[in-house]
Structure 1
C-alpha cells in the first residue's frame, strides 16, 4: 500500500487537468499536465522552470513566482531534504491565495512525514482536505481520504481506516478503475489485520476483477494488478490454500522478475520472500532453492538498503533451515552491516528532516516575533495617531463651541438691539397713532358741527320766505368747502397710513396670482374693504353690472368657487 500511495502522489499531479472557475488555479493545472509526462526528465523540467522565470521577469505577477517554485516539486521529488524546504517556501509565498497550491503542498508534506512523524503527517493531510474542499470541483478528495485512511492503518486504528477508504471509494469516478481497485485492496489489507481473512480475500478478489475486466491496462495498472495477486496469494497461504497461493504468487513473481526496472526491486524481493515462505511450509526445497538463487543473483544490484536487508533475511532463513553455517555466518554478518547502514541512513534522514523542521520552527518563531513586534509597533503608532486625532478633534470642537457661543452672543445682542429699536419705533408709532386719532376726533367733531349748521340753515331756508338767496348760497358753499377740507385732510391721513399696507397686499396678490390685471388688483383692494359693487362703481365712474362682471372674473382667477366669500379670502392674505 505504501508503494501505491507514493505512486498516487506521483500520479496525483497527473489528474490535475480539471477545470476550475479561477483562471489562475487553472494555470497551475496546465503546468501539471505539462510536467507529468516528463517527471523523470530533469532537463525538460528545468526548461519549463526557466520559462516560468522569464514570465516572472516580464510580468512580475505572483502567479508566475509561484509557478516557478512549483516546478521545483517535480525537480526534487525524489530528494526529501531538498524538496521539503521548497514546499515550505511555496506555502509561505502562496499564503493560502490558491487552494490548489496549498492542497498539493500539504499533501506532499503529509506523505514525506508519514514514517518519521505520523502526527505531523496527519495534520498536513487534514489541512490538504480542507483546502481541497474549498475548490468547487473536488478532483483529489479521494486521494486525500485514501492517504488519511492509510495513516490510520499505520496507527493500527482500523475502524477509521475503513471509514476513510470507504469515503475515498465513493469519491472516485467510475472510470478511475485503478483507484477503485486500490480501495478494495486496502479493505482487504485492513480486514487481514482485523483477523477477518474471509473478507480480506473477498475484497482483494473484487479489486482484481475490476482491473481484469478492463480491456487495455496501462503499465501502472498492470503493476498493481499483479501486486494484488501476490497479496491474495499470501492470504490463501495464511488460509492454508497452498495450491491457489502458489499459483498467484508465481504470477506476481514472474511478472516482476521479467521487468528490469529500479522501481520494481521491492516487489521482486517481496514476491520472492512470500514464495520462499510457501515452499518452506510445503517442503518444496527445489523450488525454494531456485528462489534463493534468484535472490543471490539480484542482491548485488539492489539499490535500496531496506530491500537488500529483506533479500538477505530470506537467504539467511534458508541457510538456517538447511544448517549451512558458513554461508549463514557470512549472510548474518552482511545483515549486521546492512542494518547498521540502514540505521545510519534512517538516522541521517531523520536528522536532516529534523534540521529542516527545526529551522522551519525557528523561522516560524522569528517570523511570529517579527510579526508581533511589527503589530505592536503598528498598534502603538495607531494609538499615537488616534491620540493626536482625538486631541485635534477636541481642539476643533472647543474652537467651534467657542465660536458658536460668540456668534450666539453677537446674535443675541443684535436681537436685543433690534427689539429695543422695534420697541422705540412701536412706541413712536403708538404716539403717532394716538395723535392721529386725536386729530381725527377733532376733525370729526368739526365736521359734525358744520353738518349740523348746514342742516339748520337748510331748515331755516325752508321755513323762511323772505331770505336773500344769494347770501344763503354763499354761506352754504362756504360750509360745503369746510366739509370738503375736513374730508380731504382725513382722507389724506388715511391714505398715507394705508398706502404701505395696500402696497404689501398688492405685491402678495400679484406674486401669487400673476394673471390678475392692474385694474383687477385695484378692485381687489376695494373688495377687501368690503365695499359694495354700487359703491365701487361710483368711485370708478362705472356701472354696477360692470363691477359684478369684474368680481366674477377675479374669483375665477383666484380659483374660488361661486359660493366662496371673496372678501374673506382677500382678508386672509
Structure 2
C-alpha cells in the first residue's frame, strides 16, 4: 500500500530490483516466507542485472565513499534505500536518515522531501505508523512548497492507509478525501495509477466501515480503470473488493462469480498469496449458501490450506484453518473441526496472532457446548471474550457472550445466565446502532457526491461559456489590434502574467480555506458524536437504575445482588473519561472556551465549567440533568450559583452571556 514510489519511480524505471519488490509486496505479512523469497530473487537479480549495472549494496557503499558531490551521494543513498527496503528495513531507515542529513546540509529541498517520504514508507512497513505519518507530513509540506502536488496527493493516501491500519476509519477517509483535491487540481482523473489507486483505497475503507454500496461503486470504477490500462492484478484486486461487498450483503452467488474471476487472474499471474486468500473466501461463500454446498466448500478450503502451507505463510494458514473449522462446525463434523483448530492454534501462538487466538477460543467453546463439556466451554469462551474485548471486536464479543448465557442456563446458574443475556442484548443493540449509523453516513455521502457532481457539471458549462466569450473577445481584439501589434502584445503579456499570479494566489487561498473548513467540520462531527454518546449513556444508566429499583422491591432473593449492581452502575456513572473526551473536542471547536471563562471567574469548579459548556451548546435543562445524572431542580440551582460566580445581575441572561464569550 506504500504508493508514491510504486507510482513515481516505476514511471522513470530507475531500479529493476524495486519493480521486483513491488510484485512481492503482498508477502510482507509473513517474514519467514518473505526472507526465503527475497534470497532467491536477490540471487537471481544479481546474476542477471545488478552484476552488469554494478548496483549491489556493497558496490553502492563503495561508490558512496568514493563520491565527491552531495548530489551524487544523495542519488546513491536513494538506490541503497530501494535495495534494502522491504528486505532489511532497519538498514533502509539508516540510509533514509543519512539522506536527510546530507540534503539539509547541501540545502537540496527536493531530495530532502523524497528522503522523508522514503523514511515514512519504511516506518510504515514495520508498523511504526505514528513515526510514518510524521515524516509523511514533513514530506508533504516540502513537496507542496516546491510545487510537487502529485506527490502530496499520494502521501495523503498513504496517511489514510496508516489510519486504516490503526482501525481509525473516519480519519482514514478524511485523508483520502483531502487527497482528492490534489487529484482534481492536477486534472489526473484519467491517470490509471494515481486515480485508480485512490478509488481502490477508498473502496477498501468503505468496506471496512460496512458501507457496502459505496465500496461497490468505487471498486467498480477502479476496476474499469485498471482494465482499460491492462493492469490485470489491479483489476483482480478491485473485483475481490466487489466480491467481499456482495458476500457481506449476503449476495452469495454473485460473490462466488466474482471470486472465481479473481481466482483465475491470480492463478494466471502466479500470485500464490491471493490465490490462497481467494480460495478461502470461496470456501466461506459456499458454506454460507442455503443449503450448504459441502463438496465445493471443502474443495476450496483444502486448496487454500495447501497453497498457504506450500508458500509457508502462517497468517494465511491460520485464517484458512479457522474458516475451515467454522465450516466443519456448521455441518456437525466436530472431530475434524477440533483438529483444524488445533493446527491453527499452534500457528497462531508461534506468531502471537491475538485475533486468530480469539476466534479459535470462540469456535472451540461452541464445539464444547454441543458436546456438553460445559466447564471447558466456559473457559474457552471467557478467553474469547477477554481477547476480543482487548481488541475492540464487538461482533465476536457479542457472539461469545450469547454462548456464555446458554452455557450458564444449561448448568442451572439462572442469575448469571440472565446477566450475560442482558450483556448480549446491550452488545447486540450497539452493533445494530453502528450498522444503522453506517447506512445513514452512506446515504449522506451518496447525496453529497451527487450534489458535487451536479456542481461540477454546472461549472463545466460555465467554463465553456466563458471560453466561448473569451474566444470572441480575442477575435475582436485581433481585428482592432493589427495596427498596434507590438503594443498590445506587450500589454497582453503583462496582463496575463499579473492575472495568472492573482489566480494562483486565489486558488491556493481557496484550497487552504477548504482544508481548514473540512477540519472544522470533522471536529464538529466528532463533538456532536461525543455529546450524543454522553446523552445516550446517562439516559440508559438513569432508566436502568429506575428499573432495578422496582425489581429490588419485590423478590427478597435479589436484594443483595441488586444492591451490588447499583454500586457498580453508580461507579460507572462517576467516570469522567467521556467528559474529558467531550471537553477536548469542545475546547477545539469553541476556541478554548474553558480558559476564557476561567479568566472571568477563577473560582469556577470543573462542574461549573461543565454546566457552562452544556449551556453554550443550547441544551435544555432536562438534557443537562440527564448528562449530569441529577434532577432538573439541581440544574436550576447550579445555574443560579454560576450566575452569581460570574457576577451577573438577576435580569442578565446566562445563556446569552455565554454565547457572547
Superposition TM-score tier, normalisation by shorter sequence = 0.5 to 0.7
Equivalent position of 1:207 in the other structure: 304
Query: SS in structure 2 opposite 1:76?
Result: helix
Verify: 1:292 aligned to 2:386, yes or no: no
Deviations 1:22-69 (A, max 9, x none): 669x99x78686464145422233213312432332x41333333443
Q: Go from structure 1 to structure 2 and tell me whether the alpha carbon gap of 1:324 and 1:15 turns closer, same or farther (over 3 Å shift).
A: farther
TM-score, with structure 2 as normaliser: 0.49
Query: Rg larger in 1 or in 2?
Result: 1
The 3-state SS of whatever aligns with 2:175 is helix
> 3-state DSSP class of the match of 2:215?
helix
Structure 1 residues 271 and 126: alpha-carbon distance in aligned structure 2, compared to 1, 3 A threshold: same
What is the distance in 2 between the residues matched to 1:85 and 1:175? 35
Which of 32, 48, 63 is matched with 2:136 structurally? Answer: 48
Residues 46 and 131 (structure 1 numbering): CA distance in 2 closer, same or farther, change over 3 Å? farther
Which residue among 326, 331, 334 is the counterpart of 2:415? 326
- Choose which of 244, 247, 250 in structure 2 pairs with 1:153: 247
CA distance in 1, matches of 2:394, 2:434: 9
Structure 1 residue 233: Cα displacement: 2.2
Aligned to 1:102: 195
Flag the 1:157–1:272 CA change in 2: closer, same or farther, 3 A: same
Match of 1:183 among 261, 269, 278: 278
1:234 touches 1:249 (CA, 8 Å); kept in 2? Answer: no
The alpha-carbon distance between structure 1 residues 311 and 269, as it changes in their structure 2 partners (threshold 3 A), is farther
Q: Rate the CA distance shift 1:255–1:334 in 2: closer, same or farther, 3 A.
A: farther
Please report how far the alpha carbon of residue 107 of structure 1 lies from its aligned counterpart in structure 2 after TM superposition.
Answer: 1.0
Find the aligned partners of 1:252 and 1:137 in 2 and give their Cα distance.
Answer: 35
**How far 1:102 sits from its partner (Å)?**
0.9
* 1:81–1:353 Cα contact (<8 Å) kept: no
CA distance in 1, matches of 2:257, 2:362: 31
Equivalent position SS for 1:140:
helix
Counterpart of 1:131 in structure 2 is 225
The DSSP-based 3-state class of the residue aligned with 1:288 is: helix
CA distance in 1, matches of 2:371, 2:271: 39
Of the candidates 298, 304, 322, which is equivalent to residue 230 of structure 1?
Answer: 322
Deviations 1:322-356 (A, max 9, x none): 23211112112222333344444445555556555
CA 1:13–1:160: 2 relative to 1, 3 Å: farther
Structure 1 counterpart SS, 2:304: helix
Q: Is the CA contact (8 Å cut-off) linking 1:38 and 1:45 kept in structure 2?
A: no
Q: Is the 8 A contact 2:374 2:411 kept in 1?
A: no
Distance in 1 of aligned mates of 2:314 and 2:323: 14
Among 257, 260, 270, which residue is 1:163 paired with? Answer: 257
Unaligned runs of 5+ in 1: 1-10, 394-573
Decide whether the 8 Å contact of 1:184 with 1:206 is kept in 2.
Answer: yes
1:89 aligns with 2:178: yes
SS of the residue aligned with 1:172? helix
Aligned with residue 272 of structure 1, among 352, 361, 378:
361
Kindly tell me: are residues 392 and 144 of structure 1, through their superposed partners in 2, closer, same or farther at Cα, counting changes over 3 Å?
A: same
| Aligned 8 A contact 1:81 1:352 in 2 | no
Question: Alpha-carbon deviation of 1:184?
Answer: 1.6
> Does structure 1 residue 37 correspond to structure 2 residue 129?
no
Name the counterpart of 2:401: 312
The structure-2 alpha-carbon separation of the partners of 1:363 and 1:240, relative to structure 1 and needing over 3 Å to count, comes to: closer
d(CA) in 2 for partners of 1:309 and 1:201? Answer: 28
Cα distance in 1 between the residues matched to 2:425 and 2:253: 38
Q: Distance in 1 between matches of 2:410 and 2:426?
A: 22
CA distance 1:184–1:15, shift in 2 (3 Å): farther
Show the counterpart of 1:119: 213
- Return the offset for 1:83: 2.5
Q: In structure 2, the residue corresponding to 1:147 is in which secondary structure?
A: helix
How far does residue 160 in structure 1 lie from its aligned partner after superposition? 3.7
Does the Cα contact within 8 Å between 2:160 and 2:174 map onto a contact in 1? Answer: no
Question: Of 193, 205, 220, which residue of structure 1 is paired with 2:288?
Answer: 193
- Alpha-carbon shift at residue 128 of structure 1 (Å): 0.9
User: How far did 1:229 drift?
Assistant: 1.1
Distance 2:389 2:139 in 1: 41
1:200 CA drift (Å):
0.8
In structure 2, runs of 5+ residues without a counterpart are 23-81, 83-116, 483-661
| Structure 1 pair 49–67 and aligned structure 2 pair: CA distance change class (3 A) | farther
Output aligned runs, 1:343-422, within 5 Å: 343-348=432-437, 358-382=447-471
Distance in 2, Cα, partners of 1:229 & 1:12: 29
Deviations 1:276-322 (A, max 9, x none): 22222222334323313424554653423333222212212222332
Task: Provide the rounded CA distance (Å) in 2 between the counterparts of 1:19 and 1:176.
Answer: 23
What do the CA deviations read for 1:376-428 (whole angstroms, capped 9, x no partner)?
343455466678989999xxxxxxxxxxxxxxxxxxxxxxxxxxxxxxxxxxx
Give the secondary structure class of the aligned counterpart of 1:99: coil
TM-score, normalising length: structure 1: 0.56
Alignment partner of 1:141 is 2:230: no
State the distance in 2 between where 1:330 and 1:111 align: 37
RMSD: 3.9
The answer to whether the 8 A contact 2:176-2:198 is kept is yes
Distance in structure 1 (CA, Å) of the matches to 2:2 and 2:152: 22
**SS in structure 2 of the partner of residue 60 of structure 1:** coil
SS at match of 1:240: coil
Alpha-carbon separation, structure 2, partners of 1:162 and 1:379: 52
The 2-side partners of 1:88 and 1:274 are apart by 39
**Equivalent residue for 1:65?**
152
Distance 1:332 1:15, change over 3 A: farther
TM-aligned CA distance change 1:112 to 1:354, over 3 Å: farther
Distance 1:373 1:355, change over 3 A: same
- Secondary structure of 1:113 counterpart: helix
Superposed CA deviations along residues 50-96 of structure 1, whole A, max 9, x for unmatched, are 12432332x41333333443333234323322332432332342232
Aligned match of 2:644: none
1 CA distance for matches of 2:5 and 2:310?
22
Distance in 2, matches of 1:127 and 1:149, equals: 14
Report the CA distance shift for 1:82/1:360 in structure 2 as closer, same or farther (over 3 A).
farther
Map 1:472-491 to 2 at 5 A.
none
